[in-house]
Structure formats: structure tokens, C-alpha cells
Amino acid sequence: MPLYLSRFRYESRTWAKLVHDPSQRRQGVRDTLEAAGCQLHDFWYTMGDADGYVMFESPDERTALTYLAVTSGRGNVRTLETTRLFTVEEMVTALEAARGLPTVPELPE
């Protein structure tokens, strides 16, 4: 199944709720993913540009989008950016298929 990596930033009110009543967010994320038909790989908090990351599997893009729509719609996250991850084997297969294709001509200067 395709892998996805979501990077999120919480709303300030979400942090305030977590400080007031710390909770294990991983299980909530797992429950939502599984209800949508996906599978959680892991959940991490970070320092820097993102508050955390979620890695998950989804059988297809529609299912991944369903999970992302529900997550965004709850109002707990300020930003949610998701990237489809490809295995090395998937990339090698794509590169091998690209070998026989004509290249896009360069634009004149």
C-alpha cells in the first residue's frame, strides 16, 4: 500500500487543551486512520517548522484524502501537508520505464 507522510502544526488552542489535559494523540490518530481505511505507521512530535509528523499507509489516494479531510475539518491543526512516499524499488521501476521515453526539449534562451 502507498505510504504517506503528513506534517502538521497545531492551532494554539489545541496546545492549550493538551497542556491542560495531556492525552495520547497517537491512539486518536490511529482510530481515525483505521476508520477511514488506512493504517498508522507512527506519530512523532518535533521541534522546528512542524509540530509533528504522521506516517500512514492508504490503499489509494481517495482513502488518504478522506482521512486528511476529516483531520483538517476538526479544527485542531493549523496546517496539514501530506507527501506521497515512494520506495526505492518503485523509483527504480519508474526510472527504468523512463529510459525509453523521449525527453522534453529544452527551451531556447
| 9 within domain boundaries | yes
Q: Identify any residues that bridge with 84 across adjacent strands, giving them in sequence order.
A: 4
| 99 within domain boundaries | no
Query: Is residue 35 classed as helix, strand or coil in its secondary structure?
Result: helix
| 103 within domain boundaries | no
Structural domain count, the chain:
1
Q: Identify any residues that bridge with 35 across adjacent strands, giving them in sequence order.
A: none
The residues, ordered by sequence, that sit 6+ positions from 44 with a Cβ below 8 Å of its Cβ are: 52, 53, 54
Give percent of the chain with pLDDT exceeding 90: 78
**25-36 and 61-73 helices, crossing angle to 10°:** 140
Residue 51's pLDDT is 97
pLDDT tens per residue across span 31-81: 999 999 999 999 999 999 999 999 999 999 999 999 999 999 988 999 999
Grid cell for residue 99 = 529510459
| 58 within domain boundaries | yes
Grid cell for residue 22 = 495531556
| 107 within domain boundaries | no
| Domain residue limits at 13 | 3-87
| 75 within domain boundaries | yes
**What is the CATH number for 48?**
3.30.70.920
- The torsion angle over the Cα atoms of residues 51, 53, 62 and 27, rounded to 10 degrees, is -100
pTM: 0.84
